[in-house]
Amino acid sequence: MSFVKKLKNIVIGKAKNPHDPDLFHKLSLIAFFAWVGLGADGLTSSCYGPEEAFLALGKHMFLGIFVAIGTAFTIFIISTSYSHIIELFPAGGGGYLVASKLLTPSLGMVSGCALLIDYVLTITLSIASGADALFSFFPPNWHSFRLSFAVFVLIALTIINTRGVKESVIPLVPIFLVFMITHVFAVFYVFGTHFSDFGTLVTTTVSDIKVTKNEIGVFGMILLILRAYSMGAGTFTGIEAVSNGIPILRDPKIKTAKKTMRYMSVSLAFMVIGLMMGYLFFKVGNVQGKTLNAVLFEKMTSEWGNNIGHYFVMITLISEAVLLFVAAQTGFLDGPRVLGNMATDRWFPAQFSILSERFVTQNGVLLMGAASFALMTLSHGSVKFLVILYSINVFITFFLSQLGMVRHWWISRKTVSNWTGKILVNGIGLILTSFILISVVVLKFFEGGWITILITGSLVLLAIVIKNHYRQTLLHVKRLDNLIDAANISSNKSHKTAMSKPDTNAKTAVVLVNGYNGLGLHTLFNVLRLFGENFKNYLFVNVGIIDSGNFKGIEEIKKLEHYVKSELNKYVLLMRGKGLYAEGISGIGVDMVDEIRSISENIYAKYPQAVFFGGQMVFPKETIFTRLLHNHAIFAIQRKLYQKGIPILVMPIRVS
């Protein structure tokens, strides 16, 4: 084993076997681990979401009760809606697939682009916020290292996520548990010590309502509450993560996904109401350089004595800070999966749908890490700036998902039971998400929100250009598929008796194909045209690539294997009809080059007179898109086989 291979195994782990029947069980997450990996993004919203809403109320803080109730209601509505989405799309896909299937593919692409930008912002903001929180405990002269530390954490998380889904989640469980234990205790402590003050709280709230009405009127009071609600609820993202990440959940996936969704919604609503009530009971106010949570915990523990309170506050706030790092996992787990789904549909380069040997969308993980690195360095890790960019995009996806579901229930009203209840949930979700989206765009547009919209719009335009290129290329390639009809006619007319056994010492043509299509047939017919009767044996090699589109269960892998073999059999029947020995050799894997190299070595050992052939599309004009968007794997295969002394010829297939 080479040094590079050993180093790779140390950093990202050894390759996994796609034929392992327990593979999906080993890689998948139970509801608890999914809650950790996918729910941390939502829970960390409680570190700044209630504060955003509370401060937006100004001196009318007791109106925060209505904001907290409205926010919790919104969380339950959106999570219930996504439970419907999970039932309707059990293979996953989330907002991208919902908008694509229930609205239009173009709106699905917009939803996917919005999610991708949101996940990059989730990673960057979570890590930058965590670094800020940690360095607030250090001396001021250490603060110059904050950005370097944030970049280090980003790189470390990127590497961890290339190792696999479960490997990236399990180490974060203790951090998550400390956060939950300390914050749940704090909320129960608030309610337990102020249970007798509920009557006073109600009286004070009624008084605050009267004062607010006298100062700004009923309409003004409603607008104030709605503004605070939109500022707070607009930060509670991450609810969509479960429906995007269904493929990584343990079977039965729907049941696991719904259980994870319940964990997320209940815990987040509990935190929102609990912290907001804590602010009111302890009369928490804004303190320079401290979060409202920090002020609350300090007031709460001020009479504990014996430094117990100090250590509790320190552990609680550090758990908040470090959980923000955990929240970046949502971006790393779901961002590459959304990108992979869009790449499968050719909105983005096909390479982003390819899985690594660890069965993660490695190219997507690296891209998310690189994009976050660029954003982190350009913004200097400024949380204030990143927060402005945040939350707009996810509500674009929420809005389109709710719109798609409302449309679906209305169209299916005659065939779906209880459609009125379902359309009611999604209808309310549509109204709430529309209001929050519009409010956040208006409130944050001139503060920097326009940057998010500009970046998302640019990504949408890039996706359209890429899709158009793939569409044009597909039209050209389909012209090559006319050979299929000619080949089928030739096969039907041929009645020669095929050789039953190969002559292993005779000249053998090994044709590398990718399905029974015009590209493979052009390669084969070029071999026949140039070399005629020189070859007595014809072997066809086809490797099925496990990508994000078919890595959804052992049954999907079996379907892929069956498809690859059935496509090979068509070539075999064609050549046997010409009286020649023909055989199909298939493989399944995540790396086409390595899989073909391994198969080729075995073939060459058995057929020493073998010559390998592969086809490569040649465009009339080489552009950046033809170089970046098309697989040039045949040249990598050629280099690998040359190193082993195996002859291989690349047949040009002109695409005009």
Cα(63)–Cα(54) distance, integer angstroms: 9
Residue 3: is its pLDDT beyond 70? no
Give the least confident one: 88-97, 249-258, 344-353, 577-586: 88-97
Q: Which SS3 state, helix, strand or coil, does residue 106 take?
A: helix
Give the span between the Cα atoms of 246 and 349, in whole angstroms. 23
Half-sphere exposure of 544 (CA within 13 A, CB side): 24
Q: pLDDT band for position 11 (50/70/90)?
A: very low
Q: Which of 26-30, 52-56, 140-144, 170-174 has the highest mean predicted lDDT (pLDDT)?
A: 52-56
**Is pLDDT at 349 greater than 80 in this prediction?**
yes
Return the structure tokens found at 183. 């914050």
**Does 8 have pLDDT greater than 60?**
no
Structure tokens at 49: 């979401």
> 457 falls in which pLDDT band (50, 70, 90)?
very high
Segment among 88-92, 358-362, 470-474 with least mean pLDDT = 358-362
Could you report how far apart the first and last alpha carbons of the chain are, in Å? 44
- Count of beta carbons in the 10 Å neighbourhood of residue 630: 18
Could you give the CA distance from residue 529 to residue 72 in angstroms, rounded to a whole number? Answer: 71
Give 375-424 pLDDT, tens digit per residue. Answer: 898 888 877 777 777 767 878 888 898 899 899 889 888 888 888 888 99
The pLDDT tens digits for 191-245 are 888 888 888 888 888 888 888 888 888 888 888 888 887 776 655 666 777 776 6
Please answer whether residues 335 and 245 qualify as being in contact, where contact means their C-beta atoms are separated by less than 8 angstroms: no
The region of weakest confidence among 545-549, 616-620, 640-644 is: 545-549
The pLDDT value recorded for residue 167 is: 54
What distances in angstroms separate CA 51 from CA 81, 189, 211, 584, one per listed residue? 26, 19, 22, 64
Determine contact, residues 564/543, Cβ cutoff 8 Å. Answer: yes
Span 293-310, mean pLDDT?
82
Q: Find out whether the peptide bond into 105 is cis, omega within 30 degrees of 0.
A: no
The torsion angles phi and psi of 617, rounded to 5 degrees, stand at -65, 135
Structure tokens at 637: 């295969």
Task: Name every residue whose Cβ is closer than 8 Å to that of residue 311 and which is 6 or more positions away in sequence.
Answer: none
According to the model, what pLDDT value does residue 106 have?
A: 92
| Least confidently predicted of 69-73, 496-500, 521-525 | 496-500
Angle at 10 between CA 128 and CA 125, to 5 degrees: 10
pLDDT at position 550: 47
Which phi and psi angles does 319 have, rounded to 5°?
A: -65, -35
Q: Cis ω on the peptide bond leading into residue 252 (within 30° of 0)?
A: yes
pLDDT at 537 over 60: yes
Residue 602 is predicted with a pLDDT of 92
- By three-state DSSP, how is residue 629 classified? coil
Determine the Cα angle at 626 with ends 623 and 627, to 5°. 90
Each residue of 36-61: b (16+ CB within 10 Å) or e? bbbbbbbbbbbbbbbbbbbbbbeebb
Q: Give yes or no for residue 359 having a pLDDT over 50.
A: no
Using DSSP's 3-state secondary structure scheme, residue 251 falls into coil
So what's the pLDDT on residue 136?
A: 65
Helix crossing, 308-344 with 105-135: angle to 10°? 150
Separation between Cα atoms, residue 544 and residue 638, nearest integer Å: 19
Structure tokens at 384: 């204030």
- Could you give the residue ranges of the DSSP H alpha helices within 532-591? 554-576
**Token duo for residue 585:** 């050799």
Residue bearing tokens 């090979």: 568
In angstroms, the Cα distances linking 59 to 211, 291, 345 are: 11, 17, 51
DSSP state at residue 33: H
Residue 417 pLDDT: 81
269-282, pLDDT tens digit by residue?
888 888 888 888 88
pLDDT computed for residue 517 by the predictor: 83
Q: Using CB atoms within 10 A of its CB, is residue 605 exposed (0-12), middle (13-18) or buried (19+)?
A: exposed
Is the pLDDT higher at 603 or at 35?
603
* Kind of pairing between the strands at 648-654 and 537-545: unpaired
How is 276-290 classified by DSSP, letter by letter? Answer: HHHHHHTT----TTS
Answer with the residue of higher pLDDT: 242 or 358: 242
Q: Please tell me the predicted confidence (pLDDT) of residue 12.
A: 46
How high is the pLDDT of residue 23? 47
The DSSP letter of residue 16 is: P
> Is 324 or 631 the better-scoring residue by pLDDT?
324
- Give the per-residue pLDDT at 609: 92
pLDDT per position as a tens digit, 460-519: 999 999 898 888 877 777 776 666 666 665 555 555 556 668 888 999 999 999 888 888
The average confidence (pLDDT) of the chain is: 80
Mean pLDDT for 160-187 is 77
Q: Cα–Cα distance between 401 and 98 in angstroms, integer? A: 6
Task: Give the CA distances from residue 321 to residues 47, 126, 216, 519, in Å, rounded to whole numbers and listed in that order.
Answer: 9, 9, 38, 54
pLDDT tens, 43-57? 777 777 787 788 888
> Among all chains, which residue has been given the structure tokens 């044709």?
511
Give the pair of three-digit tokens for residue 38: 């996918």
Query: Which one-letter amino acid corresponds to residue 342?
Result: M
CA angle 325, 235, 157 (to 5 degrees): 15
Structure token digits, residue 432: 């709430």
Residue 584 is predicted with a pLDDT of 92
What DSSP designation does 15 have?
Answer: P
Eight-class DSSP state of 447: I
The pLDDT of residue 113 = 92
Tokens of 386: 């990143």
389, 452 Cβ separation under 8 angstroms: yes
Residue 617 carries which side chain, given as an amino acid letter?
Answer: M
Angle, in degrees to the nearest 10, between helices 94-102 and 105-135:
160
Place of tokens 């280090």: 152
pLDDT for the residue 237: 63
For residues 502 and 518, give the distance between their C-alpha atoms in angstroms, rounded to a whole number: 27
Domains and CATH numbers, the chain: 24-469 (1.20.1740.10), 483-654 (3.40.50.620)
Contacts for 607 with CB less than 8 Å, ≥ 6 apart? 502, 504, 508, 510, 537, 539
For the chain, the C-alpha Rg in angstroms (whole number) is: 29
pLDDT band at 357 (very low <50, low <70, confident <90, very high): very low
- DSSP β-bridge partners for residue 588: 544
Distance CA 72, CA 74 (A): 5
Q: Could you tell me the pTM of the whole model?
A: 0.75
* Helix axis angle, 292-300 to 253-281, nearest 10°: 70
Single out the residue of 70, 434, 5 nearest to residue 273, CA to CA: 70
Residues in the chain: 656
**Higher-confidence position of 288 and 650:** 650
Asked if residues 113 and 306 have their Cβ atoms less than 8 Å apart, the reply is no
CB-based burial, 575-595: b 16+ in 10 Å, e otherwise = bbbeebbbbbbbbbbbbbbbb
Coil, strand or helix at 648: strand
